[in-house]
Amino acid sequence: MPEVIINGPEGRLECRYMPSEAPDAPTALILHPEPDKGGTMNNRVTYALYKHFQARGFAVMRLNFRGVGRSQGEYDSGEGELSDAATAMDWLQAQNPASRQCWIAGFSFGAWIGMQLMMRRPEIHGFISVTPPATTHDFSFLAPCPASGLIINGEQDEQVPPDAIYKLVDRLSIQKGVNIEIDIVPGANHFFTDHLEPMISQVSTYLDAALVDGTLADPDFDPLA
């Protein structure tokens, strides 16, 4: 998958980008977990999301936030990383001017950044947030939540228990016509150590219903391949 280096707010940003064969294909930007705790774009959950959107025919991109891998800069506790994500989305959209839809997906810290980006970018059609850090980060910026999406969590997640996710969604102001679905993966921990495939399967089921343009996953797709 092609490596792309783009100019970010603090220097280069290291990315991976897979274009689609269809010029009007939807786009998806995938964001990784906590940079200060070893999170990178090669995280297995992040990579599985990337591969799944690719298999559906999306033009898809993932990046290393500032200070991670070959990306320049230093960890900025979210503010700078949000700028990095916005820059990556600008690049992705510039490469796909005829795209029909724009999606954002992220794991943990990446989910938090992705939902902030969604508030700033009205073109984002939908989101996938995997274990958003509801116990440690503020989500009051979702006022109201402007796009429908899926929040997915592990049943045995000790860092972000399912109850915290339900409380988060209960507190959110949601725009008319917007729906946030919650899926809990039975037996899964925070990292989906033995439950990556069931997690991706639930993402796939959600996208089957959310995508109305016939862009469907390859039935032979293996997220662990």
> For residue range 117-165, what is the model confidence (pLDDT) as tens digits?
999 999 999 999 999 999 999 999 998 999 999 999 999 999 999 999 9
Euclidean distance between CA atoms 150 and 183, whole angstroms: 7
Q: Could you tell me if residue 144 is inside a domain?
A: yes
What is the pLDDT, as a whole number, of residue 202?
A: 96
Q: CB-side exposure of 221: number of CA atoms within 13 Å?
A: 19
Euclidean distance between CA atoms 71 and 85, whole angstroms: 12
pLDDT in tens, 10-32: 999 999 999 999 999 999 999 99
Supply the CATH number for residue 138's domain.
3.40.50.1820
- Cα distances from 128 to residues 4, 76, 132, 136, in angstroms, run 23, 23, 10, 19
Euclidean distance between CA atoms 101 and 136, whole angstroms: 31
pLDDT greater than 90 at residue 224: no
Q: Could you tell me if residue 208 is inside a domain?
A: no
pLDDT greater than 60 at residue 214: no
What is the pLDDT, as a whole number, of residue 211?
A: 87
What average pLDDT does this structure show over 197-219? 78
- Give the three-class secondary structure for 31: strand
Total of domains in the chain: 1
What is the pLDDT, as a whole number, of residue 1?
A: 57
- Give the three-class secondary structure for 193: coil
Question: Do residues 129 and 53 touch, judged by C-beta distance below 8 A?
Answer: no
Q: Could you tell me if residue 207 is inside a domain?
A: no
Q: Could you tell me if residue 220 is inside a domain?
A: no
Question: Do residues 128 and 150 touch, judged by C-beta distance below 8 A?
Answer: yes
What domain range includes position 70? 3-202
Q: Could you tell me if residue 100 is inside a domain?
A: yes
pLDDT in tens, 160-197: 999 999 999 998 889 989 999 999 999 999 999 999 99
pLDDT greater than 80 at residue 213: no
pLDDT greater than 90 at residue 216: no
Euclidean distance between CA atoms 134 and 161, whole angstroms: 9
Distance in Å from the first CA to the final CA of the chain: 14
Give me the phi and psi of 111, to 5 degrees please: -65, -40
Q: Could you tell me if residue 224 is inside a domain?
A: no
pLDDT in tens, 81-97: 999 999 999 999 999 99
What average pLDDT does this structure show over 61-86? 98
Lookup: tokens for 208:
């089957």
What is the pLDDT, as a whole number, of residue 215?
A: 44
Q: Where are the alpha helices (DSSP H) in the chain?
A: 44-55, 79-95, 109-120, 162-171, 196-210
Q: By C-alpha distance, which of 223, 196, 218 is closest to 208?
A: 218
Q: Could you tell me if residue 211 is inside a domain?
A: no
Q: Angle formed by the axes of helices 44-55 and 196-210, to 10°?
A: 40
